[in-house]
Amino acid sequence: MSLNIIPPPTLVEEKITTTPLNPEKAKFSKRFRGYLPVVVDIETSGFDPSRNAMLEIAAVIPVMDENGRLSIQETHSAHVVPFPGARLDESALAFNKIDPYHPFRFALEEKAALERIFHAVRAAVKRNGCTKAILVGHNPAFDLGFLNAAVARTGLKRNPFHPFSSFDTATLCGLAYGQTVLAKAALAAGLPWDSQEAHSAAYDAEQTARLFCGIVNRWEDLVEATAR
């Protein structure tokens, strides 16, 4: 069984905690009603958030330049140990090619993994003058359901994400490119797609982030062109 190793994001976290706030460029607080869009992908052992385990989680935080254009700033990710009693569906593991108990995963317990991701997201929310993060995902109901279930299971109190609102890149890609499948949408947008890397949380989250940033940027271009 193949294995995608996600290195610990310690160096990235150290970098972001020292990034100064530039009020002239911190426009996220106005662009999305005070929400910071954070792209999330979660790989799991099935489809039931209450019974199946979260096995990988990745969060991609964008940055906005002085012209209102988005790009990827940083990616945070973790392998996750299945919670006690979790159901591990063989079909799901065959699909995402994850061995939940492989020693080289260097997986964290569910609470520690969430704390790692949430720490980075809260820092970005504060840095950009936003009030909360909003989950961006490809069919985000799936990811948000697993995220909320894990938060409830671990008893974490400082979840930076809105509990039910989200941005769906499947819908946005259907509008912009006529494609709703992530791989097909990426190719339609002119992005490369590596089927060997796909279904790792970090890869899928970064590809989704590129699509989201590209669509937002195209919209900004259309708005500017219309205003001329």
Residue 133 pLDDT exceeds 70? yes
Catalytic residues: 199
Tens digits of per-residue pLDDT, 164-215?
999 999 999 999 999 999 999 999 999 999 999 999 999 999 999 999 999 9
- Is the whole model's pTM more than 0.85, yes or no? yes
**DSSP assigned state of 70:** E
Element (H, E) at 165: strand 161-168
The Cα 3–Cα 45 span in angstroms is: 15
The Cα 140–Cα 143 span in angstroms is: 5
Residue 84 pLDDT exceeds 80? yes
Contact assessment for residue 138 and residue 169, using Cβ atoms and an 8 Å cutoff: yes
What pLDDT is stored for residue 205 in this prediction?
98
3-class DSSP state of 152: helix
How would you classify residue 26: left for phi > 0, otherwise alpha for psi between -120 and 50, otherwise beta? beta
Tens digits of per-residue pLDDT, 97-129?
999 999 999 999 999 999 999 999 999 999 999
What pLDDT is stored for residue 5 in this prediction?
46
What pLDDT is stored for residue 11 in this prediction?
35
Tens digits of per-residue pLDDT, 9-62?
433 433 333 444 445 444 888 899 999 999 999 999 999 999 999 999 999 999
pLDDT band at 138 (very low <50, low <70, confident <90, very high): very high
Could you please report the per-residue DSSP string of 176-213?
HHS--SHHHHHHHTT----TTTTTSHHHHHHHHHHHHH
A 10 A CB-CB count for 188 gives 15
SS percent in the chain: helix, strand, coil, step 5: 45, 20, 35
Contact assessment for residue 45 and residue 86, using Cβ atoms and an 8 Å cutoff: yes
